[in-house]
Amino acid sequence: MNGGGLLVAGTTSDAGKSVVTAGICRWLVRQGVKVAPFKAQNMSLNSFVTREGAEIGRAQAMQAQACRVEPTALMNPVLLKPGGERSSQVVLMGRPVGEMSARGYHGGRQERLLGTVLDCLERLRGTYDAVICEGAGSPAEINLRRTDIVNMGIARNAGLPVLVVGDIDRGGVFASFFGTVALLSPEDQALVAGFLVNKFRGDVSLLEPGLDMLHGLTGRRTYGVLPFRHGLGIDEEDGLRVSLRGTVRESVVAAPAGEDVLRVAVCAVPLMSNFTDVDALAAEPGVVVRFVDRPEELADADLVVVPGTRGTVRALEWLRERGLADALRRRAAEGRPVLGICGGFQVLGEHIEDDVESRRGRVDGLGVLPVRVRFAREKTLTRPSGEALGEPVEGYEIHHGVAEVLGGEPFLDGCRVGQTWGTHWHGSLESDAFRRAFLREVARAAGRRFVPAPDTSFAALREEQLDRLGDLIEQHADTDALWRLIESGAPTGLPFIPPGAPA
């Protein structure tokens, strides 16, 4: 017998679907329910490598952590990695299968993936008591409904009840709830059980008349009102847009352990990927992380990070256009700390041979590390571990570029020259002892009296964050009604709200 299920949809992108899904997962697992996350199709430049070497969205990896299970490719069978405004790399069951335009994908390829997606969901439901699915964008994308495999397409085929999340902090949440339902076909509407209000500030009693009117208009109840809380985001995932100022969590951290703070500037390169690498730095007391796009913003930085990117050659051009390339070269020459991760490591090298990603052939790098990079058609997807700076360290690799290291001191899979460091390893800074050793090196080179806190555990901070999400659901949602939805499906007799989907 298959386990229960629920699809968490949203009135918009960034309504809070990922957070609510993780919160429901953590609440359920604390009740002794064996639960798994699922997102049929994800668009994200932030990805993760599972133990079996499959690439999936980081949000699903974090949701798996909320469930206290190991992430697998079944939890995110289709991952789209944007390479520009109109094309994406399609990753199927954890492996890249080619580049495709949006028109080509929605023109037929997506529809053909429905069988694979449903099979993955069926296998999860056969293993777990409950599977909490996350939608994408809005279920009322009427231009894409015919080929939809992630919102109502999956709900219809799998018989999943749908909970629609709306971000009230943006305004217009009642119109968004009503309009979302009213633009669905009668068959789709029959699965929309109700609503969940996210990010509410103020007195809930002032909201209740509106919720009552919404119930009267739609015949659907609101399953909870979640209050606004800082620092509740999990790893970002959707689309091309990345905030240059608000990406790092707004969580409260302790006062610095030493006399100085350490300032970290992250170059906001185009198609920035796995920028979550710097979250571990931001979690350290006394480390201030900001995203920058101008050379003058590097002046007072104690460490500059050049992060990963899905467009290494494009990132190189951007760094040159902005004047950041010259600023990075000066820093390297002056012995001021620079860390390149994955694509950021590649741009610091001598040259790149790229006939795969940009198809630009040989392109000169910044020349600050003795490294030559050749792009291979096969993508490297591994979970390496080792030792650096005398401490154990783990990470994960996601890249087409193969680096030939010609000198310098060994550093993870890359090298170090003076205070310029480069590696393909994502996630290495989540290893606490290694991160502290690295920050001590940076502070010494920068002349800062910064001391890493001796007891910061990034894994523990993540667990606390997931528990806070679980608390939010437990304290502010009707959990009995949510469980009935998961176990028994959408209520029968839900009214149709005209006009419905266009013919």
Rounded distance between C-alpha atoms, residue 258 and residue 254, angstroms? 12
Interacting residues of 428 by C-beta distance below 8 A, sequence separation 6+: 277, 388, 393, 394, 395, 412, 434
Helix, strand or coil, per DSSP, at residue 71: coil
The single residue of 400, 424, 426, 476 carrying the catalytic annotation is: 426
Query: Catalytic site residue 426?
Result: yes
Rounded distance between C-alpha atoms, residue 187 and residue 480, angstroms? 26
Interacting residues of 331 by C-beta distance below 8 A, sequence separation 6+: 298, 304, 337, 338, 420
Q: Is the peptide bond before 499 cis (omega within 30 degrees of 0)?
A: yes
Helix, strand or coil, per DSSP, at residue 503: coil
Distances (CA, A) of 445 to 163, 257, 301, 331, 336: 52, 18, 12, 12, 7
C-alpha 436, offset from chain centre: 25
Query: Catalytic site residue 267?
Result: no
Rounded distance between C-alpha atoms, residue 28 and residue 474, angstroms? 9
Instruction: Determine contact, residues 11/166, Cβ cutoff 8 Å.
Output: yes
The single residue of 342, 400, 415, 424 carrying the catalytic annotation is: 342
Sheet bearing 162-167, strands edge to edge: 35-38, 130-134, 4-10, 162-167, 192-200, 221-227
- Encoded amino acid at 43, one letter: M
Helix (H) or strand (E) holding 372: strand 371-382
Interacting residues of 162 by C-beta distance below 8 A, sequence separation 6+: 6, 7, 9, 135, 139, 152, 155, 191, 192, 193, 490
321 phi and psi angles, rounded to 5 deg:
-60, -40
Give the catalytic positions in this structure.
342, 426
